[in-house]
Structure 1
Amino acid sequence: MTSENQVDSLRSALALLRQHPGQLAETDVPVHPHAELAGVYRHIGAGGTVARPTTEGPALLFHSVEGHPDSSVLIGLLASRERVGLLLGCAPSELGKKLFSSVDNPIPPVLVDGPAACQEVVHRASDPDFDLHTLLPAPTNTPDDAGPYITLGMCYATHPDTGVHDVTIHRLCIQGKDELSIFFTPGARHIGAMAERAEELGQTLPISVSIGVDPAIEIGACFEAPTTPLGYDELSVAGALRGKPVELVSCLTVDQRAIANAEYVIEGEVIPHVRVQEDQNSHTGYAMPEFPGYTGPASDQCWKIKVTAVTTRRHPIMQTCIGPSEEHVSMAGIPTEASIWGMIDKAMPGRLRNVYCPSFGGGKFAAILQFEKKTASDEGRQRQAALLAFSAFSELKHVFLVDPDVDCFDISDVMWAMTTRFQSDVDVISIPDVRCHPLDPSNDPQYSSHLSAHGMARKTIFDCTVPFDQKDRFRRSRFMDVDPEHWVPSTREERTES
């Protein structure tokens, strides 16, 4: 039997899910990676901000991918908060707190001797038949995509001055038989800063892209400053979550390291002073579906990775995700919750009961804070907590404040609080023209003339908490607390599974 404490790779994660009905589905029915694969999962389990109809469901493992007879493709591994909790050995409601504890107690990765599992099969770019299109079953999520995308590649690089390492996730599009484009959100990711510094020095930046890894690595890689500043290797978060270091191996063709038990590793170099038109092959004008639920425009400022090798396990599993799916909510939202939790709990201990970054915000744009006012002097501190949340995560646009008797994970309960404990003339606090996120199409002067530039937003706090001196007026109906098992024996089992 595999427990969550024994998960340290994608394969051990799948072995755990196979022990839990409803968490993993597998199919041998052939599927085409161009739009069809994502189209299937849109109905099975994508959720998130994907256009309806969609639902939250199991992860799906495709064993017969057209054009790639030796590979499988996994999608939706983290597209359920319950499944993330299962894989990390934690109650879903406690994930943010557990992640923050891991940030505070890091276990750095270690280098092991190769060859490693990720190097069982080696393809060098110098081989005459080397072609990323045939080596990588990377899906195209929609017919509008710029091309096949690697959406869950753990990009690992080293700062050319300091030697510090970092891992982040970027969108990577296959552009040629040995070329990828990589998009760096300006100022948002540490590897982008490393590439910029290497370019200043006139150097290439050696990089590895590990695909199909322990889900703890995928979650940890989504932390950002200020929680994990430049110089903090987010692989240390995964080490803390597992209680043992992540193992790295030296790459074969570049001076870099990769995750030793990954399913795929792409080795290469980021080329200085070269920019790539993302849709240069498809000319669609679009990149790929992004977490807000819209397909983003193709960039003409992508950097180029010259690939030098691809190494894999035998019969490798390509892992992918749909950008607007619940999987993105898990990967981006839970680290955001951890960052908010850490900042507020340090500033006002014991007041923040929990925090949730919900699906409708894609894990980035919205947060729900469950705040307890213990004394009269706590009145107003809930709004201070919301301001701290904006400081902890600059991409937040909306913060909702609720009382401890409101389940912050139940959007219907949150909306009930907003309906019965909220008046817009006194409970809306807005902050004009603040830097937010460029992928929200409403963050633009075309939408509001009060915004000075694209990517700016009017950030808003919705205070749905009861004033401390009026608590007695807002007591919820109190029902007798009984165990229904005596009357309906199946109820307990249904509650456990839900």
Structure 2
Amino acid sequence: MTETVYDLRSALARLAAMDGELVSTDTEVDPHAELSGVYRYVGAAGTTRRPTREGPAMLFNRVKGFADFRVVTGVLASRRRVGALLGCEPDRLGHLLMNSVKNPLPPVLTQSAHIPCQEVVHLASEPGFDIRTLLPAPTNTEEDAGSYFTMGLCYATDPETGESDITIHRLCMQGPDELSMYFAPGRHLDVFRAKAEAAGNALPITISLGVDPAIYAGACFEPPTTPLGFDELNIAGALRGKAVELAQGVAVNARAIAHAEVVIEGELMPEVRYREDRNTNTGKAMPEFPGYTGPANPSLPVIKVKAVTHRRHPILQHTIGCSEEHVNMAGIPTEASILGMVERAMPGRLLNVFAHSSGGGKLMAVMQFKKSIPADEGRQRQAALLAFAAFPELKHVMLVDEDVDIFDSNDVLWAMQTRYQGDVDTVFIPGVRCHPLDPSQIPEYSPSIAAKGIACKTIFDCTVPYALKSHFQRCEFKEVDVRRFLPDFHY
């Protein structure tokens, strides 16, 4: 990433300078369902219910009930935009992130007297403090459990080792100074919380909203690529070529992103649990990456908010849970993890990976594998097994040859129709832990599923057997310069 993109505002400035990548409106919008309802049509894409499309990011300049706030959504909801913001070709983003994992650059505590995220400070101890009237957290739909922060980077430190971790979690407003926090199984911050709770202590935590894209990209890595104790801000530093600056909290002993638009400071309370929809009784939570609104969780840990700080004239960053933005934030680190693990095991064979939009960037990967010698036959399936190890939440892998464009779903499905036979090219791996937000991963769906979150992982081998490669040559067209005929044509 070039040095000009170092926070959300510089990222938006870059998008504004590009053709068709950022739109804005001065029409007042209601954060309750209306804002997300608008963007559903403008640019959500992903697994969002149709009609939707991949479109520009959108800035709402007037938000009902919040005179000083703007809200932006969809900043990363296009792979092309992510590439532009990270200074990389869209189809090489997985490789970029893989290299950043190999060259970590640790965050630093800012030495500046001016800390952008603390230009305005609201302490929970002040009369009238109410996070619900301070921050315009939208709802995605009218049946959401409540107002959610969907782009909050949660940062906390292991109370035993002093090692820090940053991840994104869904955070629902529960009261004037309380948020519920959802943890999928195995999340590192939940390990920190459990350690603090076992000792009878609260866990200090900060939630940074509205930061530069490199931080969001780096924060979405998962184990084993980033094991317990690995601070993903190291990856963000490598991506931006400059260490991420942190600021010490004003009310808790924790650090936050110094250039964030908004920071919520608080403590995860020991032995305190709330039903997610206790204020609305909808029975629903919010739309998640598989494209469904799942049930409200009956018991979630609670953050006691101690302070809210923000920049002057702040911009709250939001995402629709089932949008292409989730695909890119979760999927590109998934691609990097798979590329890294397979490259270590069999260098040069795996050319590229796409964590497909249909799986929300998590459940499906298309892997482009090159068989160069007869002994490579079968190694493509070994690569698929390594992919499941690199990203345990992965459910399906589609293997294709080097002549298939993995980012073109029609081309991938073409390979399936012409280079795949179900009885010999399908590999089932039943009874493996995957992701609890996939609604089909429940015992009621299949007798093979022992518990929620268990899946049958499947490999679809759509590669040509090496011995038959000469029979599967694609049509060869003459190479020409189209711009001789259409000067404005772009490939």
Counterpart position of 2:484:
486
Partner residue, 1:424: 422
Question: Which aligned pairs between 1:140-159 and structure 2 lie closer than 5 A?
Answer: 140-159=139-158
Moved more, 297-306 or 68-77: 297-306
Q: Distance in 2 between matches of 1:256 and 1:5?
A: 27
| Cα distance in 1 between the residues matched to 2:2 and 2:24 | 21
1:16-54 CA deviation, whole Å, 9 max, x = no partner?
111101100011010000000000000000000000000
Q: Secondary structure at the match of 2:13?
A: helix
The 5-angstrom pairing of residues 100-249 of structure 1 reads 100-113=98-111, 114-187=113-186, 189-249=187-247
Amino acid corresponding to residue 476 of structure 1 in structure 2: R
Post-superposition CA distance 1:444-482 (Å, at most 9, x none): 111111211111111100000000000110000000011
Alignment of 1:18-417 (within 5 A): 18-113=16-111, 114-187=113-186, 189-417=187-415
Partners of 1:38 and 1:28 in 2: CA distance? 16
How many angstroms apart in 2 are the aligned matches of 1:118 and 1:289? 29
Instruction: Give the Å deviation of 1:428.
Output: 0.4
- Partners of 2:179 and 2:305 within 8 A in 1: yes
Structure 1 unaligned regions, length at least 5: none
Aligned residues with identical type, % of pairs: 62
Q: What do the CA deviations read for 1:260-305 (whole angstroms, capped 9, x no partner)? A: 0110000110000111111000000011000000001111221110
On the 8 A contact 2:11/2:212 being kept in 1, the answer is yes
**1:166 counterpart letter in structure 2:** D
Secondary structure at the counterpart of residue 274 of structure 1: strand
Partner of residue 444, structure 1: 442
1:389 is aligned with what amino acid?
A
Worse-superposed segment, 447-456 or 342-351: 447-456
Q: Supply the AA of the counterpart residue of 1:439.
A: L
2:455 partner letter: A
In the alignment, the residues of structure 1 paired with residue 426 and residue 464 of structure 2 have an alpha-carbon distance, to the nearest angstrom, of 14
**Within 2, Cα distance between the matches of 1:77 and 1:300?**
32
Q: Distance in 2 between matches of 1:301 and 1:213?
A: 30
CA separation in 2, counterparts of 1:31 and 1:150?
17
- Structure 1 position 455 matched with structure 2 position 463: no
Q: Distance in 1 between matches of 2:416 and 2:323?
A: 26
- How far did residue 74 of structure 1 move? 0.4
Q: Distance in 2 between matches of 1:325 and 1:236?
A: 27
Could you list the structure 1 runs, at least 4 aligned residues long, displaced by more than 2 angstroms after superposition.
none
- Post-superposition shift, 1:115? 4.9
SS at match of 2:281: coil
SS in 2 for 1:457: strand
TM-score, length of structure 1 as denominator length = 0.97
Q: Which moved more, 1:94-103 or 1:114-123?
A: 114-123
8 Å contact from structure 1 (residues 431, 460) kept in 2:
yes
Deviations 1:220-247 (A, max 9, x none): 1100110001111101111000111000
Residues 183 and 301, structure 1, Cα contact 8 Å, conserved in 2: no
User: SS of the counterpart of 1:206?
Assistant: strand
Give the deviation of 1:219 after TM superposition.
1.0
1:275 aligns to what SS in structure 2? strand
Q: Which runs of 5+ in 2 are unaligned?
A: none
- Structure 1 window deviating more from structure 2 (93-102 vs 113-122): it is 113-122
The more displaced of 204-213 and 115-124 is 115-124
- 1:40-97 deviations in whole A, cap 9, x for unaligned? 0000000000000000000000000000010000000000000000000000000001
The offset of 1:178, in angstroms, is 0.6
SS of alignment partner, residue 5 of structure 1: coil
Q: Give, in whole Å, the separation in 2 of the partners of 1:253 and 1:30.
A: 33
Distance in 1, matches of 2:192 and 2:304, equals 16
CA contact 2:352–2:369 (8 Å) conserved in 1: yes
Q: Which residue identity does 2:3 align to in structure 1? A: N
Number of aligned pairs? 490
* Letter aligned with residue 124 of structure 1: L
Q: Is the 8 A contact 1:275 1:303 kept in 2?
A: yes
Q: Any conservation in 1 of the 2:184–2:436 contact (CA below 8 Å)?
A: no
Deviation at 1:147, TM superposition (A): 0.4
Contact 1:146 1:286 in 2 (8 A): yes
Measure, in 1, the Cα distance between the counterparts of 2:125 and 2:201. 22
Aligned to 1:6, the other structure's residue is in SS state coil
For residue 479 of structure 1, what is the amino acid of its counterpart?
F
Give the secondary-structure state (helix, strand or coil) at the position aligned to 2:322: coil
SS at match of 2:44: coil
